[in-house]
Structure 1
Amino acid sequence: LMTKVLIMKTLLVFEKAYCQYRLLQTQDALDTINQVKSPDLRLLELKAQVLYKLGQYSASLALYKNLIKEFSDEFEEERMTNISAVHAALSAFDGQIGLQTELGFEVESYEQLYNKGCWLLGNNRVVEAQKVLVQAEEVCRGLYVDDPDVPEEEIEGEISIIRVQLAYALQLQGKTDEALTIYNQVIRLRPTDIALVAEQNVFDSRKKMKATIAPGLENKLVPFQKKKIDFNRALLFMYSNQWEACRKLLKSLQRDHTDSIIPCLIQAAQIGREKGSSKAVEYLQKYISEHSDPDISPEIDLTDVKLCLVQLLLGLGNLEEACLVLEALGDVTYTPAVVSCLVSLYNAQRGGEVKAARLMEHAIEWHKNNKSPAPILSSLMWESSEFALKHNNPKSAAATLEEILRFEPKNVKVLAKLIFAYSMFNQTKA
């Protein structure tokens, strides 16, 4: 009897994994599939879908490519549709933008055209995406127009999915009125796909935000989308002063998304609203201290957290402490925006001009060593010369301006400023 049970378990691995997949036990489904040393075609197909559902898009893409290469049957078009969906997810959710100019195969069905449109949107090729999505809608309508067995509601349901993305493409181009018209048309149809309603309503109100946690929605979303919705829910709780609900959700988000600083920033904002900026500063300082060890938190970039801390410190009038944080940002300290901010803060403090001059000197040297674009270097050097002239140091200004002229010899503005600097200490040379 035991032998028969083991045989049945071996034979029914696909059925078990598929049931787990349909029951949203996605990780369990993957674990079940991985127990098989030599999976057959059915298991490989299912594994590719499971990997996609788990957000492991690169692994899913690699598996689909192997399947297309090794198998040729009546399901080939479906595989091409799935692989186009993976490409779209990679560009939209994994940040793999601009790695290729085309999908690498001809798209024909409306599903493939839709996925290509989403892929183009993820690559910021919005105008192209709009054209492809319009084509997808036309192909979809043409497919069902002469089929009396397909009810109009089902056709509109398929088209609504395409039209929501089309509206998003229009929205990205600043065509807000056209986008809203399509969004409202989709809502009036009362689509059975709750994800479509959630995509529009998420921005409308706290009441409509409930659509994003409606039963059945989780089935329609990938991990990236679920994460974004949870972040927005936390923001809504915060802005509506639901402190306890906000804290509870943020605790869950910080546990589940250790690679993201968004829960930390929302938590700091919530503490600031509830208890004041000083408590928010304490929270951020503690968070930075606990996550500064690269061996413990290698995936977290604390730059935005530190900039948030600077903003709070400035609001409390703690200029010196804010400067210390900005000075400790590493390479970010020498970006034009941070240099400009620090110079302004130094000027507001007694004796700060010495620090400001030293900072600009270090920033110019850093950009030289890192071969930054000429306009950035030129701009920093120009501001440095202006600062030197303003603080009665024409020799330093002249030296900087001479350096600018070496790579911009025809810049009349720089030449005029150099003559002015010389006139303050060497009229003969001027």
Structure 2
Amino acid sequence: MAAQSPTNMTVLYGELNKFINVSDYKQALKAANKSKWIYINEGKEDTEAMHCKAVCMMQMSQFAEALKFIEGAPEIKDAYPFSLLVFEKAYCQYRLLQTQDALDTINQVKSPDLRLLELKAQVLYKLGQYSASLALYKNLIKEFSDEFEEERMTNISAVHAALSAFDGVKTELGFEVESYEQLYNKGCWLLGNNRVVEAQKVLVQAEEVCRGLYVDDPDVPEEEIEGEISIIRVQLAYALQLQGKTDEALTIYNQVIRLRPTDIALVAEQNVFDSRKKMKATIAPGLENKLVPFQKKKIDFNRALLFMYSNQWEACRKLLKSLQRDHTDSIIPCLIQAAQIGREKGSSKAVEYLQHSDPDISPEIDLTDVKLCLVQLLLGLGNLEEACLVLEALGDVTYTPAVVSCLVSLYNAQRGGEVKAARLMEHAIEWHKNNKSPAPILSSLMWESSEFALKHNNPKSAAATLEEILRFEPKNVKVLAKLIFAYSMFNQTKA
């Protein structure tokens, strides 16, 4: 293709520059498309023009078109690998929810600039890699100081909030918050740290600061102000709910819903169990941009539960299939599947599912709750022996006081079960001794063991156990009295 003359090039660039200077990206894009010179690979000029075209599309939120343009331009890929438009490419991927692809694109750059590092921190946050995001933001704050510092501090406060709320990681903010966005994030951080009363105060302050910004600005509609404040008020309602102030919390939730906020994430999170109609809010277009992975997972689980409780079997099965594939770090899809089968086909089929299925769960995940669910179903069917076998195979969990108590009760309901019960308590006491369990737990188990021995006419065994308790609780009058009673049954002189 023949190149444009220098004169034509100057005119074209002048027109393009004029529209970009006044932020008229629509006209700038038209100017860029007037001629095919933008595709000519004859030096620096054409790649700069290509950059302009990509940015224009991005400014108009045409991210899919911009990404297609960037990826389809050999001038970019071949002549300037991983340097020209790499930020634009990664940003388009990020906005198109191709978040892992965005991270992969950024990681191909050996020495990323400030823009790429900022984007990487946000991408890590979106992927739920909060610790990595926090480390990167801390480094950015240490290395750079510019007009975007307040926004950077807002982002880092959001990462702190996510770490405490979703990962249970305790962190320290380490800086004073000022803007209402930062105050909001601090409130969420405090909630994650179970400092609920403090969180309520900070969220009230965030609302006051937010309202104060619009006091002298009559051009901002009240609906827009209320929409911004609704985000804060939902968290405030949650803080009240955690304090047991359910009526106050419910009032705020209903106020937010009546306002029909433009932020669909607010409605989605609060109405998940309200009705099938409102469930549509949880899968509304654009919602995925508002939620972090933890929230998306919870909403998906809640959708499956709603399908199950409303007897939408096919929809439930279809959703659970994708959940078991996408969330191998959780047993919840497996438990919902068992419950769904139980409701649809009966408990015996649910037992078969839990006994014979091979749920796609990561090997590191603790399956104790799945096995306890199986025990509950077996007991409901009257299969005491099978339930005992499952409880006996729980490993260390078998020797916890609650499971020991349950097993002893189940053994007592079976013929000859007292021998198994006595052996279990003996093993449990030995396990807790070897593992240096707290004295109250060991003492409680030994006391119950002595009670069981007395009840089954074995006073010598009971006395031996009570003597051992007295060795580390010599002033326990209750134990001493029980020991005297045990002695009286086989050795009155000692009693």
**Preserved CA contact (<8 Å) 2:331 2:361:** no
Q: CA deviation at 1:99?
A: 5.1
- Equivalent residue of 1:207, what SS? helix
Q: 1:106 aligns with which of 176, 181, 195?
A: 176
Q: CA deviation at 1:297?
A: 3.6
**Preserved CA contact (<8 Å) 2:399 2:428:** yes
Are the structure 2 counterparts of residues 105 and 292 from structure 1 closer, same or farther at C-alpha, using a change threshold of 3 Å? farther
**Preserved CA contact (<8 Å) 2:200 2:236:** yes
Q: CA deviation at 1:27?
A: 1.5
Q: CA deviation at 1:353?
A: 0.6
| More displaced 10-residue stretch of structure 1: 304-313 or 133-142 | 133-142
Q: What do residues 16-55 of structure 1 show as CA deviations (whole Å, max 9, x unaligned)?
A: 1111111222112111111111100000000111111111
Are the structure 2 counterparts of residues 292 and 327 from structure 1 closer, same or farther at C-alpha, using a change threshold of 3 Å? farther
Q: What do residues 338-390 of structure 1 show as CA deviations (whole Å, max 9, x unaligned)?
A: 00000000001111111111111111111111121221111111111111110
Are the structure 2 counterparts of residues 241 and 294 from structure 1 closer, same or farther at C-alpha, using a change threshold of 3 Å? closer
**Preserved CA contact (<8 Å) 2:446 2:466:** yes
1:2-401 aligned at under 5 Å gives the runs 10-94=83-167, 100=170, 102-285=172-355, 297-401=362-466
**Preserved CA contact (<8 Å) 2:184 2:202:** yes
Q: What do residues 256-276 of structure 1 show as CA deviations (whole Å, max 9, x unaligned)?
A: 111111111111111111112
Q: Structure 1: state its 5+ residue gaps.
A: 1-9, 286-290
Q: Structure 2: state its 5+ residue gaps.
A: 1-82
- Equivalent residue of 2:469, what SS? helix
Q: What do residues 203-234 of structure 1 show as CA deviations (whole Å, max 9, x unaligned)?
A: 31222111111122111111111111111111
Q: Find runs of 4+ consecutive structure 1 residues off by over 6 angstroms.
A: 291-296
Q: CA deviation at 1:146?
A: 2.4
Q: CA deviation at 1:292?
A: 11
Q: CA deviation at 1:295?
A: 13
Q: What do residues 376-406 of structure 1 show as CA deviations (whole Å, max 9, x unaligned)?
A: 1111111111111101111111111122222
Are the structure 2 counterparts of residues 174 and 44 from structure 1 closer, same or farther at C-alpha, using a change threshold of 3 Å? same
Identical counterparts, % of pairs: 99
Q: CA deviation at 1:139?
A: 1.8
Q: CA deviation at 1:75?
A: 1.4
**Preserved CA contact (<8 Å) 2:307 2:316:** yes
Aligned-partner Cα distance in 1 for 2:214–2:439: 57
Name the count of aligned residue pairs.
413
Higher relative contact order (CA 8 A, sep 6+): 1
| More displaced 10-residue stretch of structure 1: 249-258 or 362-371 | 362-371
**Preserved CA contact (<8 Å) 2:170 2:193:** no
Aligned-partner Cα distance in 1 for 2:337–2:251: 36
| More displaced 10-residue stretch of structure 1: 294-303 or 34-43 | 294-303
Q: What do residues 400-423 of structure 1 show as CA deviations (whole Å, max 9, x unaligned)?
A: 112222222222211211111111
Over alpha carbons, which structure has the higher Rg?
A: 2
Are the structure 2 counterparts of residues 297 and 211 from structure 1 closer, same or farther at C-alpha, using a change threshold of 3 Å? closer
Q: What do residues 234-281 of structure 1 show as CA deviations (whole Å, max 9, x unaligned)?
A: 111111111111111011011111111111111111111111211111
Q: CA deviation at 1:296?
A: 8.8
Are the structure 2 counterparts of residues 27 and 153 from structure 1 closer, same or farther at C-alpha, using a change threshold of 3 Å? same
Aligned-partner Cα distance in 1 for 2:305–2:408: 34
Aligned-partner Cα distance in 1 for 2:277–2:362: 37
Q: CA deviation at 1:128?
A: 1.8
| More displaced 10-residue stretch of structure 1: 167-176 or 294-303 | 294-303
Q: CA deviation at 1:101?
A: 6.2
Are the structure 2 counterparts of residues 284 and 296 from structure 1 closer, same or farther at C-alpha, using a change threshold of 3 Å? closer
Q: CA deviation at 1:61?
A: 0.9
- Equivalent residue of 2:276, what SS? coil
Aligned-partner Cα distance in 1 for 2:359–2:235: 39
Q: CA deviation at 1:201?
A: 1.1
Q: CA deviation at 1:282?
A: 1.2
Q: CA deviation at 1:180?
A: 0.3
RMSD, aligned CA: 1.9
Q: CA deviation at 1:294?
A: 13
Aligned-partner Cα distance in 2 for 1:355–1:53: 53
Give 2:482's aligned residue: 417
- Equivalent residue of 1:11, what SS? coil
Aligned-partner Cα distance in 2 for 1:375–1:135: 45
Are the structure 2 counterparts of residues 295 and 368 from structure 1 closer, same or farther at C-alpha, using a change threshold of 3 Å? farther
Aligned-partner Cα distance in 1 for 2:257–2:322: 31
Aligned-partner Cα distance in 1 for 2:379–2:109: 59
Q: CA deviation at 1:144?
A: 2.4
**Preserved CA contact (<8 Å) 2:164 2:170:** no
Q: CA deviation at 1:150?
A: 2.8
Are the structure 2 counterparts of residues 273 and 292 from structure 1 closer, same or farther at C-alpha, using a change threshold of 3 Å? closer
**Preserved CA contact (<8 Å) 2:324 2:359:** no
Are the structure 2 counterparts of residues 229 and 100 from structure 1 closer, same or farther at C-alpha, using a change threshold of 3 Å? closer
| More displaced 10-residue stretch of structure 1: 300-309 or 98-107 | 98-107
| More displaced 10-residue stretch of structure 1: 294-303 or 144-153 | 294-303
Q: CA deviation at 1:189?
A: 1.4
| More displaced 10-residue stretch of structure 1: 411-420 or 389-398 | 411-420
Are the structure 2 counterparts of residues 91 and 296 from structure 1 closer, same or farther at C-alpha, using a change threshold of 3 Å? closer
